[in-house]
Amino acid sequence: MLELVRVNANVDTTAVWSASPAESLVMGLARTNEELEAIQRLRFNVFTEEMNAVFPDAVDGLDADRYDPWCEHVMVKEANTGRVVGTYRFLAPANVVKAGGYYSESEFDISSLQGLRSNMAEVGRSCIHADYRNGSVIMLLWSGIATLVKQHGLRYVLGCASVSLRDDGVTAAEVWRSAKKALDAAPDMPRVIPRHRYPVERLNSELPARVPPLIKGYLKLGATICGEPAWDPDFNTADFPVLLDMTHMDDRYRKHFGLA
């Protein structure tokens, strides 16, 4: 069993930060090993059953890796049952070295972001139960991430946005088409380089597709896709590098998350 490690003793990890009365949901940080295991089981169930992800080292139906002990784990629970229905993990700069680097560095060369590292957290392993993909859980999770960013006094958030390749890459091609336009229009934007590039130029980019809701949500927040996608064979996904400068976050979200 993993030992739950705290990132920063100055961050309040005991309080429930937010609640959704309409659906009786509460959001906060994992405080016990049992809560961490519930999060890892949710991740395993969603990633394996829905995305057919392969976890060679998985034990007892848990998605656990070397980054988990060094992350804060934001979770949303059903208030009445305690069932975990959504999660994100947050890796603060102070623990990046202890974790062996950012997870994103396993997929991308992020040397162009070297000057941001002391002020840049990473988020990932986002996962929501199929019963709660109506927007309320993701907003609660983003509120938790925003709270952690504010409490740690950080400016940047890095992550990977995964696009399933089960449609032969049609959706990934649409995401890259939109992202490339933004990158071409902003030559000074820092760019990262995939270690195992997914060959988007081979895809039929004329086929109709929609940008996935999660990526669309990131872009509405004010985030940018800062490079070509990497191929993740375990998840069978094209992973797009996403960078959010909190000072560029859309004003509506800044107010909603209490950052204004």
Asked whether the CA dihedral 65, 71, 212, 195 is positive or negative, the reply is negative
Q: Is the pLDDT of residue 5 over 60?
A: no
| Per-residue pLDDT reduced to its tens digit, 157-181 | 999 999 988 888 889 999 998 899 8
What does the mean pLDDT of the chain come to? 88
Instruction: Give the per-residue pLDDT at 22.
Output: 55
The domains located in the chain, with CATH, are 18-256 (3.40.630.30)
Instruction: Give the per-residue pLDDT at 12.
Output: 44
Average the pLDDT over 213-235 and give the result. Answer: 92
Instruction: Give the per-residue pLDDT at 204.
Output: 64
Q: Quick check: helix, strand or coil at residue 207?
A: coil
Question: For residues 234 and 114, which has the higher predicted lDDT (pLDDT)?
Answer: 114
Average the pLDDT over 200-227 and give the result. Answer: 85
Bridge partners, residue 239, by sequence:
162, 230
Please, which pLDDT band fits residue 10 given cuts at 50, 70 and 90? very low
For the ranges 6-10, 217-221, 239-243, which has the lowest average pLDDT? 6-10
Instruction: Give the per-residue pLDDT at 260.
Output: 75
Among residues 197, 205, 201, 203, which one has the least CA distance to residue 231?
Answer: 197
Q: Which residues of 165-194 are buried (b: 16+ CB within 10 A; e: fewer)?
A: beeebbbbbbbbeebeeebeeeeeebbbeb
| Per-residue pLDDT reduced to its tens digit, 15-69 | 444 555 556 999 999 999 999 999 999 999 998 888 777 777 778 899 999 999 9
Give pTM, 2 decimals: 0.89
Residue given tokens 């270690």 in the structure block: 195
Instruction: Give the per-residue pLDDT at 20.
Output: 57
Q: Is the pLDDT of residue 1 over 80?
A: no
Half-sphere exposure of 14 (CA within 13 A, CB side): 2
Question: For residues 91 and 56, which has the higher predicted lDDT (pLDDT)?
Answer: 91
